[in-house]
């Protein structure tokens, strides 16, 4: 997930900067950026489902966890997740290659998905696949959470581990909610453009920060705060910053 988010942020940041600096880029380059950005965005919720299933196996089948969740099977699961996430994007590319002329890919456009994959059928297909992916992830999170909840009540000795697992899946649910922002943001952005037609650049910048930067900033921070060692050094760092600011203020007052 960390690797996926790094690639996603790199690609979307590059696209965002290019949209301000160059505005229009070649369609061939735009296709590559769009496909990678969409793939990495769609992979995030599927990763959440895989992580929830692993926690479910660890709590409900602790004796078989090491046999089921081997390194080889983990790599295989990652490969399957990547395949089911990249397949719809590859079909979009093939349909566009078949329907558009070669000159279209040598032209320049403002790099957003509707300007590259113009077929209305592709937009409908994207909505269908997004609904299927999020429905699958949502049902997986609900199922694993309930199973872990029942396991915690039955096994008094595993209450601490089960509590951590339940908190992890709840965190996955919060992450899934933040992922939903990337799917409703185009419609919200269009509405805001109609209400504030002179604030197009400001709306795009705020949308990018809230939809793409904020969820991927909060996720590692929340996971890190759950680790005792990270939490310890994080608090020490905050205290050092607070002490430095206070010391500087005292020095400024004395100078005056």
Per-residue pLDDT tens digits for 105-119: 888 888 878 888 888
| Average pLDDT value for residue range 222-227 | 69
Q: Are 23 and 110 in contact (CB under 8 A)?
A: yes
More confident of the two residues 110 and 244: 110
CA distance 178 to 202: 21
CB 125 within 8 A of CB 88: yes
Do the Cβ atoms of 226 and 197 come closer than 8 Å? Answer: no
pLDDT grade for 251, boundaries at 50, 70 and 90: low
Which 3 state secondary structure label does DSSP give 198? coil
Q: At what angle do helices 27-60 and 71-99 cross, to 10 degrees?
A: 150
Contacts for 20 with CB less than 8 Å, ≥ 6 apart: 201
- Residue 139's alpha-carbon distances to 42, 79, 131, 145, in angstroms, are 16, 21, 12, 10
Count of beta carbons in the 10 Å neighbourhood of residue 73: 11
pLDDT digits (tens, 9 = 90+) for 121-157: 887 888 788 788 878 888 888 888 788 777 766 665 5
Which residues are CB-neighbours of 162 under 8 A, at least 6 positions away?
Answer: 59, 148, 149, 151, 152, 155
pLDDT band at 161 (very low <50, low <70, confident <90, very high): low
pLDDT for residue 30 = 86
Q: Over range 61-72, report the average pLDDT.
A: 84
Residues 237, 239: Cα–Cα separation, whole Å: 5
Highest mean pLDDT among 59-68, 83-92, 147-156, 171-180: 83-92
Summarize the confidence of residues 173-190 as an average pLDDT: 71
- Residue 107 is predicted with a pLDDT of 86
User: How confident is the model at residue 63, as a pLDDT?
Assistant: 80
H or E element, residue 108 = strand 108-110
Number of neighbouring beta carbons within 10 Å of residue 33: 17
Confidence of residue 3 (pLDDT cuts 50, 70, 90): confident
Residue 103, pLDDT > 70, answer: yes
Best mean pLDDT range from 128-137, 217-226, 234-243: 128-137
How much is the mean pLDDT over the chain?
A: 78
Is the predicted pLDDT of residue 34 greater than 80, yes or no?
Answer: yes
Can you give the pLDDT at residue 109?
Answer: 86
**pLDDT of 252 above 60:** no
Q: In this model, does residue 165 exceed pLDDT 80?
A: no
What pLDDT is recorded for position 134?
Answer: 79
Distance CA 169, CA 135 (A): 16
DSSP assignment letter at 224:
H
């Amino acid at each position: 997930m960390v690797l996926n988010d790094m690639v996603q942020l790199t690609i979307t940041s590059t696209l965002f900067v290019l949209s301000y600096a160059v505005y229009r880029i070649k369609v061939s380059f735009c296709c590559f950026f769009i496909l990678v950005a969409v793939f990495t965005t769609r992979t995030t919720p599927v990763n959440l489902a895989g992580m929830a299933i692993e926690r479910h196996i660890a709590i409900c089948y602790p004796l078989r966890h090491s046999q089921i969740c081997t390194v080889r099977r983990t790599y295989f699961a990652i490969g399957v997740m990547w395949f089911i996430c990249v397949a719809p994007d590859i079909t979009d590319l093939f349909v566009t290659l078949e329907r558009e002329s070669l000159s279209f890919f040598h032209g320049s456009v403002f790099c957003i998905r509707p300007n590259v994959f113009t077929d209305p059928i592709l937009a409908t297909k994207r909505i269908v696949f997004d609904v299927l992916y999020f429905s699958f992830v949502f049902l997986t999170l609900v199922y694993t959470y309930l199973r872990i909840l029942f396991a915690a009540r039955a096994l008094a000795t595993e209450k601490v581990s089960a509590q951590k697992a339940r908190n992890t899946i709840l965190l996955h649910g919060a992450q899934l909610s933040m992922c939903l922002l990337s799917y409703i943001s185009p419609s919200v952005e269009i509405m805001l453009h109609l209400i504030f037609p002179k604030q197009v650049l400001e709306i795009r910048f705020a949308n990018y920060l809230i939809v793409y930067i904020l969820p991927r900033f909060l996720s590692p921070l929340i996971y890190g705060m759950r680790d005792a060692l990270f939490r310890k050094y994080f608090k020490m760092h905050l205290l050092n910053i607070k002490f430095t600011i206070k010391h500087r203020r005292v020095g400024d007052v004395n100078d005056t």
